[in-house]
Each structure stands twice: as structure tokens, then as C-alpha cells.
Amino acid sequence: MWGSLSLLLVSALFPARRAAAERCPRICICDNIKRHVMCLNKNLTEVPITIPQVTQKLDLRGNNIKIIPGGAFLPIPYLTHLNLQRCNLESIEEGAFRGLGRLIYLNLASNNIAFIYQESLDGLSSLQQLILEKNRLEEIKPGAFSQLGFLNFLNLGENFLVYLPDMVFQGLQLIKWLRLSHNALHVIATEAFAGLPALRRLSLDYNELQSLPTEALSRLSGTTRLDLGHNPITYISEEAIEMASLKQLFLDNMALQDVSHKAFVKSPLLHTLDLHNNQLQVLQPLTETTHLKKINLTGNPVVCSCYMRPFKEWMEKARVQADVPCASPDAFRGEQLELLRSVDMKCGGPALEAEPLPSPAAPRRKPEGDVKTKCPEGCTCSPDFQHSNCENRGLRKIPRGFPTNTQLLDLRRNEFHSISKGSFPSLKKLVSLHLQSCKIMELQPGAFQGLQKLVYLYLSNNNITAIDKAAFDGAPQLSYLYLDHNGFTRVPRGAFSLLPNLFSFHLQHNSIRQLSDSDLAGAGQLRWVYLSGNHITRVSPRALSPAKMLEKLHLDENLLQEVPTGSLRGLPALSELKLSKNPIKCIGDGAFLPVAKSLQHLYLDSLGLEQVSARAFVGLGPRLKSLYLENNKINNVPDLRSFTGLEVINLRDIPFHCNCQLLPLRRWIDKLNLRVGATCGSPAEVRGQKVKLSAAFQSCPGWRTEKASRARPNMVKAKIKADSSPSKTRRSRKAQGRGTKRSKA
Ligand SMILES: *[C@@H]1O[C@H](CO)[C@@H](O)[C@H](O)[C@H]1NC(C)=O
Ligand SMILES: *[C@@H]1O[C@H](CO)[C@@H](O)[C@H](O)[C@H]1NC(C)=O
Ligand SMILES: *[C@@H]1O[C@H](CO)[C@@H](O)[C@H](O)[C@H]1NC(C)=O
């Protein structure tokens, strides 16, 4: 209002406009009627200073500006549109756009910007569109966009983003479309998309995702369109997409071999599903996805045999418009599934007789023109999708001769016993290597040599007990290492010195007895460590300190008798600590103090806890989002009032003693808008009652005054809620479990 008023005043002053005309920079073109200035492709090294003050649109495309200093646009405060494409921009200094409170469109595409600092975008309080496409961004820090409360479109396509941390888009209250296409994203933190209530469309196509970020996506309850095409995902599991408003889902050009028929049941409004160009041979009917009206399966090696009959019958009955051309058998090649007669869809050939699932001998998509394609005998290679598969072929030696563009190699369930030096020659593009359940006992030095691009290495379910330091020599990009379900009795030491990028380390279900001082030496980039299900009795005070970036630490199902407080020092980013199912009887003062500033999720369930000190949680506060305390033997809990940011709290199966000492807890629960699950365990007459509803407190001093001030209808509502099921807590834990499960096996 004030803005447009002053603008009116300025334009009403005719002399001001004439003065403006005189100020046009010599090499620019100024249209003073439209208040538009263009200085295209002029090798300008800075923003010209003589631009008319009343200018609203400034086009500086194709210059050579490199740095935008603070306050660069202060002389032209009426700008609404600013275009800085192709300006060789490298740096945007603090306050660069200060004063541009009217700017609604800012285009910074095709520059060399590597960092966005929070202060870089200061002052852009009206901005609606921000284009950062084609820059060099590798990481975005939470808060970078927090000033942009009016933004509705953010384009971060074609950058080098690998990881999205929690709350990275915080503050974008009105954003409708977030474009992250053509990056290298392979990890999305579970809260990365938290706080985006208006988001309707999310584009994540052309990234490196190997599994669906189910939990992160579930935060997007209003999003109607999701683009995920061109990610190397092989499998969509049950309930993989949990998005309440989703209507259009694009899963094209991935590497899908299987889609669970329950994959989308948690997205009840799904209308259009695009699966074109995948490796699907058979699909089960998606009967529970009742709003589905369109499905596209072109470019899949669909086998129109009896196994596709249920799908065909379903699509006819549910009136789904399905584009499903058959790839085999030969007689039906190219025919639309809907035009076949069910009775003609037979299961004859020996290849398909034995098992209902697709046989590996199914036709390749593009046999012609691809004669040079090589593939070891007995394996299937799909050069179009850069996948090679020799799962469960009884192999005893790693085969040679895969297509050199292979990105995913699946060798699960063979019998290799040992991986010798140079087992994977000329697989320079390999990103993901599956060696689960291969009876491997030994990794020789140089076993993975030459796998320069390897990011994911799956060695779960083998018999490895030790690893030679040099085993990982030559695979420096390795970020995800799965060594769970092996025979380790200690952390394989020195493993990290050759793995500078290790991000996630899975060692659960081994027989590790303790964590010692230099176990994690060199693990400076490590963020997630999984040690669940070992025999750990002790964590030495400096065992974790080399992993300074640690965010997630799972120590559940071990033999710890106390919270390893001392070992948590020097972990400023730790946000998730799981200690469930350890024999910890007692938690003392300040047990979590070293990580109190960062901790968000704390698992203390099923410990057999008998005593928790009143100051056990000191330091923890509004940051804490989930607290699991269920299934313990305590009969009261410390004061939880400072936990104002809780989203999940579980107090089930704790034998609360419902007397007046518990009144503060009861009061706290009354005010809380969450399901808590607390039940009285004693005294006998109230056993089994919900703490929230129990009458046990009515005679306590102070009860009446408190109640009098509360509105009656609230109580009724609370009752209905407490009685209904299923519980939110349980659901969200399940989701969490799924989030960490990364592969089909
Ligand atoms: C811009 O600078 C480059 C090299 O410095 C030169 O080749 C080019 O002719 C200049 N273009 C203009 C429009 O001045
Ligand atoms: C299915 O996808 C293919 C490939 O993008 C496209 O050519 C075709 O028109 C689509 N079919 C329908 C019915 O939209
Ligand atoms: C290998 O591990 C499996 C289970 O992980 C176990 O049953 C088997 O005995 C082990 N074999 C050897 C030779 O250690």
C-alpha cells in the first residue's frame, strides 16, 4: 500500500521522469515509459550506477559481474524484476539485494554460484520467484531461504546438490513449486521438506536417489504432483508413498523391476501414474488405489502372459486408462494389453512355468542396433538402464565382461567366499554394488579397486569378521557401506582412512563388544552409524569423537548398562540417539547434556528402567521432537514441560503410580495435543485407566482451581481422541523403520 502510493507520487512528478531519462547508462537501453532498462551482453563488470531510480525491470543478462557487493541495488529501490543470467556470478555478498523490498522476480540462472548464505537474500521480502538453475550449488544450509516468506517458485535445478538436510527450506511458507531436478541428490533427511504447507509440486527428477525418501515425502500433505523420473530406483515397496493429496506421480525412466501392489495405498487420491521406460515385466492389480484413472507402462518389457491377466481384468473393471504395450510373447509384441483377450494370455513356455515372477530370460527392450552389448553368461544386462543382474545364479566367481556403463550391479545370493583384488575391472561408472548373502569371508586388499564412482556397497549377510585396511582402496566416493549381519567382534579399524566420503555406516547385528578410542578415526564425514543388535557393553569416552558430523547413532539392542554420556561430547550435530533395549536401569543427572543443543529424537524404550533422576533430561528443550520411553519399570517421569516441540511421545507400558505426585504429568498431558499412551499401573483401584482420564487426581490439592479454568467441551474431545486407535506413535515409528530400510533384500 505505502509502496504503490510512493511509486504513484514519483511517477506523477514529471521532472523526475525527465531526470531519470538523462541518467540512462550509455551502453544500456532505457524505456522510461515502461520503466525498463536493458544492458544485455555488454561485458559489464558491475551494476551500472546511473540507472534511473524509477526503473522497475532491469535486465543484465550476459555480463561479467562476478560479485554482487552489499547494497548494489540501493539506488534503484523500485525494481520488481531483475535478471542476472549468464553474468559469471560467483558470489553474492551479504545484503546484496538489500532495499529491493518490491522485487518479485529474481533470475540468477547460469552463473557460478556455489554458496547461498542466509544474508545473501536479505531484504527480498516480496520475492515470488527465485531462479538459481545452472549454478554450482553443492549444499544448502538450513535457513538460507528463511527470509523469503512470499516465494512461490524456487528453481534449484541443474546444480550439484547431493544432500538435503533437515529444515533446509524452512520459512518458505507460501512456496507452491520446488524444483530440484538435475542434481545429484542421494540423501534427503527426513525433515528436509518440513514446514512447506503450500507446496503443490515437487520435482526431484534426474537425481541419484536409490530408494524413495518415504518419510521425508510424507511431510508434504498438500502436494499434488511429484516428479521422480530418472532416478536409479529399482523397487517400490509397500506404502512407499504416503502423501495425502498426491494426484500425479511420475516414476518414469527409473530402473524399476518391481512395484508393490500396495505401494500407493497411503496416497488415496492418486489419479495418474506414469511408469514409462522401466524394467517392469509384470504388475499386480493396484486394487486399493481407488482413484487411479491413468497408468502408463510404455517402454517396459511387459510379458503379456497369464500373470498379467489380473492386471488386465482390474484395469477394465476399474476403468483405468492404461497404456500397456506388450513386449512379449512374440505374437503380441507391440499390441496393447487392453486389446488382448484374457483367454489368449497363456503361460506356456518353460521360462515362465516355474515361478510367477518374471524370468530373467525375458526380452530386452532394444535388441536391434545394440549388437555390441556384452553381458556375462547367465546374467541379464540392460545397457539402456545401466543395470546388470546376476542375482542367485550359483556363481562362485565374480563374472567379468559387464557393459562398461553399468551403474548398478546386483550379485546377491551367490557364493563368492572371497573378493580378490581387481574383481571389478572397467566398471568406472558403477554407483551401486550388491553383494548381500554371498558367503563372503574375506575382502582382499584392492578388492574394489577402480570403482571410482561407487557410492553404495552392500555386504550385508556375509561372514566377514575383519577387513584389511586396503580393501577399500580405489573407491573413494563410497558413502554408504552396509556390513550388517556379519561376524565382526570389533569395528573394522582403519576402514575410514580410505573412505573420506563415508556418510552412512551399517554395522548392526554383528558381535561387537565395545567401541574403543580409535575405532572411528578418519570418519570426519560420517553422519549415520548403525550399531543395533551387537554385544556392546562399553563405549570409550573418545570412541565417537572423530565423527564430528555424526547425526544419527543407533546403539539399541546392546548390553550397555548406562547412557554413554561422556562419549557424546564433541558431537554437536547429533540429532537422533537410539538406546532402546539395553539393560539400563538408571538414568542420572544431565545424561544427555553434551548433545542437548542438537538432539531431536531420543529412544529410551524397553530398557527395564527403574529410576530416572529428576534432572536426567536437563538441557533438552523445545528442540526435542520425539521421545520414546515406553515399556519401562519406572512409575513416574521427570518434568517434561520444557519439551514444547514434541511431535511424538510414547509413555505406554509404564506402570505409573497415579497419586497426587503424578498430578504435574496429568496436567501436562491435558494440555498436550498428542497421544501419549500413559496408563496407571497402581494403586490397584485405578490400574489400567488412562492417566489422562483417571479420576485418581480429583482429590489432589489444586485440582479444582485448575479444572475450573478449563473449558468443558475440550474434555469431551480429549476422551474421544484417547479412545480411538490406531496410535500415531506406533505409525510414526513404523515409518521411521521403513525410512532406514534401503533395499529390497
Ligand atoms: C567482451 O570481452 C571479451 C573479452 O574480454 C571480448 O572478446 C568481447 O568482444 C567483449 N564484448 C563486447 C560486446 O564488448
Ligand atoms: C505414455 O508415455 C509415452 C512416453 O512418454 C507417451 O508417448 C504416451 O503418449 C503415453 N501414453 C498416454 C496414454 O499418455
Ligand atoms: C556364515 O554366516 C551364517 C549366518 O550369517 C552362519 O549360519 C554360517 O554358519 C556362517 N558360516 C561360516 C563358515 O562361518
pLDDT for res 395? 95
- E strand or H helix that includes residue 530: strand 528-530
**Residue position matching grid coordinates 564412482:** 453
| 642 CB-near residues (< 8 Å, 6+ apart) | 620, 621, 622
What's the rounded Cα separation, in Å, for the pair 172 and 152? Answer: 8
Q: Which ligand is nearest to the CA of 62?
A: 1
Ligand 1 pocket check for 724: Cβ under 6 Å: no
The response to whether residue 43 sits with its C-beta less than 6 Å from ligand 1 reads yes
Nearest one of 459, 439, 464 to 448, comparing CA atoms: 459
Binding site membership of 725 for ligand 1 (Cβ less than 6 Å): no
Please tell me the residue having the least CA distance from ligand 2 atom 14.
Answer: 296
Give domain 44-199's CATH superfamily.
Ribonuclease Inhibitor (3.80.10.10)
5: enclosing H helix or E strand: helix 2-12
- CATH architecture classification, 651-701: Alpha-Beta Horseshoe (3.80)
Task: Compute the distance between CA of residue 457 and CA of residue 729 in angstroms, rounded to an integer.
Answer: 33
Expressed in angstroms and rounded, the spacing between residue 323 Cα and the centre of ligand 2 is 7
Tens of pLDDT, residue by residue over 498-509, are 888 888 899 999
Euclidean distance between CA atoms 455 and 467, whole angstroms: 18
CA gap 97, 86 in Å, rounded: 18
713's enclosing H/E stretch is helix 712-723
Question: What is the reported pLDDT for 294?
Answer: 97
* DSSP conformation class of 520: T
The parts of the chain modelled with pLDDT lower than 70 are 1-22, 348-373, 383-385, 704-745
Q: For 469, which DSSP code?
A: G
Task: Locate the ligand 2 atom nearest the alpha carbon of residue 252 and give its number.
Answer: 5
CA of 41, closest atom in ligand 1: 13
What backbone torsions phi and psi does residue 515 show, to the nearest 5 degrees?
Answer: -110, 120
Nearest atom of ligand 2 to the alpha carbon of 296? 1
Contacts 24+ apart (CB under 8 A), 217-225: 217/193, 217/241, 217/242, 217/243, 218/242, 218/243, 218/266, 218/735, 219/191, 219/193, 219/194, 220/193, 220/196, 221/245, 222/197, 222/198, 223/199, 224/200, 224/248, 224/269, 225/200, 225/201, 225/249, 225/250
Q: How far is the CA of 507 from the centre of ligand 3 (A)?
A: 16
Atom of ligand 2 nearest to the CA of 321: 13
What's the confidence (pLDDT) of residue 373? Answer: 64
In which residue are the cell numbers 520503466 written?
Answer: 35
Please state, in angstroms and as integers, the Cα–Cα distance from residue 365 to each residue in 285, 301, 357, 537, following that order. Answer: 23, 6, 18, 54
CATH 3.80.10.10 spans which residues of the chain?
A: 44-199, 651-701
Protein residue closest via CA to atom 3 of ligand 1: 43
Cα(20) to centroid of ligand 1, in Å?
Answer: 28
Whether residue 298 has its Cβ less than 6 Å from ligand 2:
yes
Return the exposure string of 535-572: e unless at least 16 CB atoms fall within 10 Å of the residue's CB, then b: ebebbbebbbbbbeebbbbbbbbbebebbbbebbebbe
DSSP E strand boundaries for 251-378? 258-259, 272-274, 294-296, 321-323
pLDDT digits (tens, 9 = 90+) for 244-256: 999 999 999 998 9
Q: What is the pLDDT of residue 388?
A: 86
Whole-prediction pTM: 0.54
Helices in 306-433 by DSSP H: which ranges? 309-317, 350-353
Taking a C-beta distance cutoff of 8 angstroms, is the pair 264, 273 a contact? yes
Q: Which of ligand 1's atoms lies nearest the C-alpha of 42?
A: 13
